[in-house]
Structure 1
Amino acid sequence: MIPENEIEARMRRDHGSRRARIVGEASPPNSLVRYGQGVGPWGIPTGLSAEFSAGALSAYRELRFLHGCRGVKELSVGACLYRLFCCFNQRTKRKTEDTHMKFEHLQGSIVAMVTPFRQDGSVNFDMLTELLERQIAAGTDGILTLGTTGEYSTMSHEEDAAVVEHTIRVVDGRVPVMVGSGSNCTVTQIEKSRLYQSMGADALLLISPYYNKANAEGMYRHFAETADAVDIPCILYNVPGRTGCSIPVSVVERLARHPNIAGIKEASGDMSYAMKIARCVGPDFALYSGNDDITVPILSIGGSGVISVYANVMPAMCRQIVADWLDGNHARALENHLRYLQLMNDLFLEVNPIPVKAAMNMMGLDVGPMRLPLCEMGEANAATLRRTLEEAGLL
């Protein structure tokens, strides 16, 4: 059994020095207007409009929904989009071609990143950089941003775009980046998906439509039409505990035949459902565990890995468990999985991401508070979590 700190040390030796090559300031400024001297049409800094390419302008028009977002000023959105598209327009095609197959066949540990906030509620981009570097140094196989754990549901569209831009810039192609672009409105989901693809995302995570209660055909079209609209792999996200509906197995089977739908994050916790999915899809369709406590069971039925909350706390061990199983060292994978099972479970003592953020703050990783309606962990649960972290050697 290898201690977590030894795994991290080995990863550093294996992967060499991993310093971020970040261009520009360490974190985006609070007011994006400072990128231009004046403001012209669409909120674009004066004198800079001509630098937009036709592709960037087209993408901007597709994202008109941002401009009316509550609490987002037209000026900030225009300047933000100027920055995003100018940074990524020239390398989008190359990056998409280079990484598409890499993510489509990705196996391993994909961390569902938290979004760190300052005490005033703003995104802490400096800490986000630190967390991303920590994951890469630990050998994490992929990054998911704007998932459930990332609190995208309480962030503005402008903040979402800024987090995606920052994540892709810091990661700089060292591992694939998946971005959550899901919505219960298909048109909005398509618009967001196109934006994140244009920014350099390697894959998209698409949640099942919540609240609307779509029938099977509506659910199929929700996913299929989004996949038709982009050129990077789409991963389905089944999490009925959040959405109130499960993607029918028959719909997954149909979607698995779509050339641009590469897998599913299965977070129902229902192994019978997961086995039915495994039985009806082909070997190129990735099945990711969306629940840390059943990572090894999912791997045992042909799963490709895990999209993990636990990896925020012990990234190297999470990666090691999956790697051991995929390498055929099933006994060691199971041993470590069972060893840290209590911690995996205690990270869900309350609704995610309340416990994982509490754990990271206890460990000295200043990820800050949640945004309402999520609030701090109850005292009794926090004490239980602290004891489990101590037993795991993390405090």
Structure 2
Amino acid sequence: MTIQQLQGLIAAPFTPMHKDGSLNLSLIPSYYEMLKVNRVNGAFICGSTGEGVSLTLKEKKAVAEAWAACTKSDNDFIVMPLLGGTCLADCKELALHAREIGLNAVSFTAPFYFKPANVEMLAQCCQEVASVVPDMPFYYYHIPVLTGVDFPMYDLLKAINGRIPNFAGIKYTHEDFMDFLSCIHFQNGKYDMLWGRDENMLPALSLGAKAAVGSTFNYAAPLYYNLIDAFNSGDLTKAQSLQQQSIDMIRLLGKYGGIATGKAYMKLIGLDCGEFRLPVKNMSADNFELFKKEVGQLEFSNFCSRNPVAANTI
């Protein structure tokens, strides 16, 4: 199996919900079209942004099937589900389902209740799940701020190298640039290292990152492509300014409650994905009006993603 290293921006989509908290799968084709218009190269579904840990096994399959249906004829758009991490049997079932419906790759994160005691145990978990889909690229999702599993990924690559043939790389959502660079250089760049911290894209580019997976690419993809272009052309002053715009936008996530604020940004580009499920706190109507004013002060309309099927509300 040839593993193709990914390029550019890959969005981590929100899972659309109705007002009653049920899945709104009918929105996914429009979601996909919006990402394509904004040059996004793929979707990392059912991850942190997609509330994968709050979805049932049946719901995860339904979301995957909806994305598979609308992207099946698009060979240039990658769809990769996060399988989970806590129940390995469920992860294996979801991996087999992803292969059955024609998705491009799968991803797995560390068990975060009964945590692996060391890197070798984490490698065994990866091997067990990856082995059921030996013909699919398998990525590990490193997000220690949520899993509490914080082994150096360089050590994981050493542990899995040569024993998991379909291990493609790592979605790296952490700030350890020393470890990230060592992973990029491991075995002369053998593994695909996908950057996962949107607010730190510029330093990741300077280390050699070629692809990134992020939630803010859903609603601000043009900003990041402009940042990448500025970096590639050697205009570091412009690249730094654009990264600061990203940081200013992301700061509002924290100010207005965290991850659910991302769905408020989606409303502003005309794609209402509903609310997050408990225990995530959603934004009140009053706070949404305050949020809109602050977003306007950022001149968000100058760099936000364009939605071809609905008018932006900013």
Question: Normalising by structure 2, what TM-score?
Answer: 0.84
Matching residue's letter, 2:207: I
Residue from 107, 110, 125 that aligns with 1:208:
110
Alignment partner, residue 58 of structure 2: 158
Counterpart Cα distance in 1 of 2:288 and 2:114: 35
Please give the alpha-carbon distance, in whole angstroms, between the structure 2 residues aligned to 1:133 and 1:256.
37
Is the alpha carbon distance of 1:281 and 1:208 closer, same or farther for their aligned partners in structure 2, counting shifts above 3 Å? farther
Asked if 1:192 corresponds to 2:113, the answer is no
Which residue does 2:249 correspond to in 1? 343
- Aligned partners of 2:245, 2:294: CA distance in 1, in Å? 11
Partner of 2:188: 282
Equivalent residues in 2 for 1:291-370, closer than 5 Å: 291-322=197-228, 325=231, 327-329=232-234, 331=236, 332-349=238-255, 353-370=259-276
Aligned-pair distance for 1:334?
3.8
Q: Does 1:171 align with 2:71?
A: yes
Q: For residue 183 of structure 1, report the CA deviation from its aligned partner.
A: 2.0
C-alpha distance in 2 between matches for 1:178 and 1:352 = 24
**Partners of 2:73 and 2:250 in 1: CA distance:** 29
Q: Which amino acid aligns with 2:67?
A: T
1:245 paired with 2:245, answer: no
Distance in 2 between the 1:151 and 1:385 partners? 22
Contact between 2:92 and 2:132, CA under 8 Å: does it hold in 1? yes
Q: CA deviation at 1:348?
A: 4.2
The amino acid across from 1:209 in the alignment is P
- The number of aligned residues is 294
Equivalent-residue separation in structure 2 for 1:128 and 1:159 (angstroms): 14
Q: Distance in 2 between matches of 1:171 and 1:333?
A: 32
Report the Cα distance in structure 1 between the residues aligned to 2:185 and 2:289, rounded to whole angstroms: 42
Give 1:111's aligned amino acid: A
Q: 1:328 Cα shift?
A: 4.6
The residue number in structure 2 matching 1:109 is 9
Partner of 2:308: none
Contact 1:349–1:381 (Cα < 8 Å) also in 2: no
Task: Tell me the alpha carbon deviations over residues 103-124 of structure 1, each in whole angstroms, 9 at most, x when there is no partner.
Answer: x311110000001111021211
The corresponding residue for 2:131 is 228
Q: Distance in 2 between matches of 1:197 and 1:324?
A: 38
Query: How do 1:65-84 residues align onto structure 2 when only pairs under 5 Å count?
Result: none
Of residues 43, 46, 50, the one that matches 1:143 is: 43
Give the Cα separation in 2 of the matches to 1:348 and 1:311: 17
Amino acid at match of 1:356: G
Q: TM-score, normalised by structure 1?
A: 0.68
Q: What is the identity, as a one-letter code, of the residue corresponding to 1:188?
A: D
Alignment of 1:377-392 (within 5 A): 377=283, 385-390=291-296, 391-392=298-299
* Equivalent position of 1:262 in the other structure: 168
Higher relative contact order (CA 8 A, sep 6+): 2
Instruction: Tell me the alpha carbon deviations over residues 152-208 of structure 1, each in whole angstroms, 9 at most, x when there is no partner.
Output: 212121111111111111122421111111222323222211111111110112111
The answer to whether the Cα contact below 8 Å between 1:263 and 1:287 also exists between their aligned partners in 2 is yes
Deviations 1:15-45 (A, max 9, x none): xxxxxxxxxxxxxxxxxxxxxxxxxxxxxxx
Tell me, in whole angstroms, the C-alpha distance in 2 between the residues paired with 1:376 and 1:145: 21
The one-character-per-residue Cα deviations of 1:231-269 (angstroms, maximum 9, x if unpaired) are 111111111111111133312333354431111111122
User: 2:278 corresponds to which residue?
Assistant: 372
What is the CA–CA distance in structure 1 between the aligned matches of 2:279 and 2:36, rounded to whole Å? Answer: 31
In structure 2, what is the equivalent of residue 126 of structure 1?
A: 26
Query: What do residues 342-375 of structure 1 show as CA deviations (whole Å, max 9, x unaligned)?
Result: 1133334466531101222244321111111223
Measured in 2, the distance between the counterparts of 1:381 and 1:239 equals 29
Task: Report what 2:300 is aligned to.
Answer: 393
Report the Cα offset of residue 379 of structure 1.
7.7
CA distance in 1, matches of 2:106, 2:257: 24
What is the CA RMSD across the aligned residues, in angstroms? 2.4
Any conservation in 2 of the 1:238–1:247 contact (CA below 8 Å)? Answer: no
- Percent identical pairs in the alignment equals 24
Structure 1 CA distance for aligned equivalents of residues 42 and 190 of structure 2: 18
Q: CA deviation at 1:324?
A: 5.2
User: Per the alignment, in what secondary structure is the counterpart of residue 30 of structure 2?
Assistant: helix
- The CA deviation string for residues 135-168 of structure 1, in whole angstroms up to 9 with x for no partner, is 0111101111111101121212111111111111
> Which blocks of at least 5 consecutive residues in structure 1 are unaligned?
1-96
